[in-house]
Amino acid sequence: MKINTENLFRDTEYKNGETLPYSEAISITSGKDTLYGYILVPGGNYVESRPCVIMFHGFPGYTNNNDIEQALRRCGCVVIHVNHRGAWGSGGSYTFSGLTEDAHAITDWSVSDETVRKYNIDTENIILIGHSMGGMTVINTLRYDERVKAAAAITPYDLAYWFENGEEELKELIRTEGACLKYESNEAIFENARRNYRNLSLENSYDELKNKNLLLIGAEYDTTAPIEKMILPLWNRLKTSNEKGKRELVIFKTDHTLCSKRVELTKKLGKWMADLI
């Protein structure tokens, strides 16, 4: 089903008896733990099978992208938002190595027969969108999960940069921003990052991404995930690739959270998806 980008910022009027858009709480098992979140479902005016967008939060997830989620639901997408293990009420402990494990588990749930039937999901159009550490998550999930059609990484964070250019900033991020997460200790989660950062490195993902559909979004004034340090090393390789796949880099004149460019960001994501589907 084609999405209707004219509805990104426009409500639909429903008559009495028509199926209204709705949301539901959902829970998904990852490993032995339960992830909690919600699903946004379009109204009955979208009767064909619907693209499914899975949204991923950053570290720890203070930046809320619910505006994007609601806009994409208005366009006709089923939108899934689930919190990682150890984050915002989900069970288990937060680890960097567990982020892609959670993403695969959420994708498993999204394409299961029961979920597809209940929410009328088009399994040929599973799209991931993530911000910051969530951008790293969607890139690494796209690398290996053939069920995923495309990913959009918004100001993606790269753990590898800090291990190769000084570790103190990452330690400070864990100590301050990570205080609301559940994990064994600051030292333990830092060691988890140390053990896994090479496998999660964005630049090292080139071979698996060179024929995939990927939208990279950077922010010119971003000091958390600087474009030249965390996006361009991968992009400079991808842009010269002659392999199949739709790859694009967009840079907004704003900072890491894109708070001053929410409308432009949402329009870009809607157009990018419309071109893919």
Q: In the 8-state DSSP scheme, what is residue 228? A: I
Q: Indicate whether 165 belongs to any domain.
A: yes
Residue 71 maps to a domain = yes
Please give the distance of CA 201 from its chain centroid, rounded to a whole number. 16
Q: With bands split at pLDDT 50, 70 and 90, how would you rate the model's confidence at 27? A: very high
Domain count, the chain: 1
Residue 271 lies in a domain: yes
Q: Amino acid identity, residue 119?
A: Y
What's the pLDDT score for residue 206? 93
11-20, 23-32, 142-151, 214-223: least confidently modelled range: 11-20
User: In the predicted model, what is the mean pLDDT of residues 181-194?
Assistant: 94
State how far the Cα of 85 lies from the Cα of 74, in Å rounded to an integer: 29
Spatial strand order in the sheet of 78-82: 22-30, 33-41, 78-82, 50-56, 121-131, 150-154, 213-219, 247-252
Domain region containing 133 = 39-276
- The partner residues of 152 in beta bridges, in order of sequence, read 129, 215
Q: How far apart are CA 265 and CA 203, in angstroms?
A: 24
User: Quick check: pTM over 0.85?
Assistant: yes
Cα distance between residue 174 and residue 276, in whole Å: 36
Q: What is the mean pLDDT of residues 212-234?
A: 96
The total of other beta-carbon atoms located within 10 Å of residue 226's CB is: 18
pLDDT at 241 over 80: no
Report CA Rg, the chain: 18
Is the model's pLDDT at 1 over the cut of 80? Answer: no
Average pLDDT rounded to a whole number, residues 249-262 = 97
User: What confidence score (pLDDT) does residue 23 get?
Assistant: 98
What was the pLDDT predicted at 130?
98
Residue 186 has pLDDT above 90, yes or no: yes
Asked if residue 16 belongs to a domain, the reply is no
Distance, in Å, from the CA atom of 91 to the CA atom of 85, rounded to the nearest integer, reads 5
Render the burial of 21-45: b for 16+ CB within 10 Å, e for the rest.
Answer: beeeebebebeebebebebbbbbee
Mean pLDDT of 147-167: 93
Q: CA nearest 86: which of 167, 192, 197?
A: 192
Q: Does the residue 6 lie in any domain?
A: no
- Under the banding of pLDDT at 50, 70 and 90, the label for residue 165 is confident
- The type of residue at 139 is I
* Mean pLDDT value across the chain: 95
pLDDT for residue 169 is more than 90: no
Contacts of 24 (CB under 8 A, 6+ apart): 38, 39, 41
Q: Does residue 23 lie in a domain region?
A: no
Residue 29 belongs to a domain: no
C-alpha–C-alpha distance, residues 27 and 142, integer Å: 22
Residue 26 lies in a domain: no
Whole-angstrom CA distances from 28 to 81, 84, 86, 110 are: 11, 10, 14, 10
Q: What is the pLDDT, as a whole number, of residue 191?
A: 95
| pLDDT of 226 strictly over 80 | yes
Q: What is the per-residue pLDDT for 230? A: 95
Residue 167, pLDDT score: 86
Cβ–Cβ under 8 Å, residues 208 and 242: no
Q: How far is CA 6 from CA 3, 70, 128, 144, 193, in A?
A: 9, 14, 21, 33, 42
Q: Is 90 exceeded by the pLDDT of residue 243?
A: no
Average pLDDT over residues 246-262: 97
- By DSSP bridging, strand 121-131 and strand 78-82 are unpaired
pLDDT (tens digit per residue) in 63-100: 889 999 999 999 999 999 999 999 999 999 999 999 99
CATH number of the domain enclosing 160: 3.40.50.1820
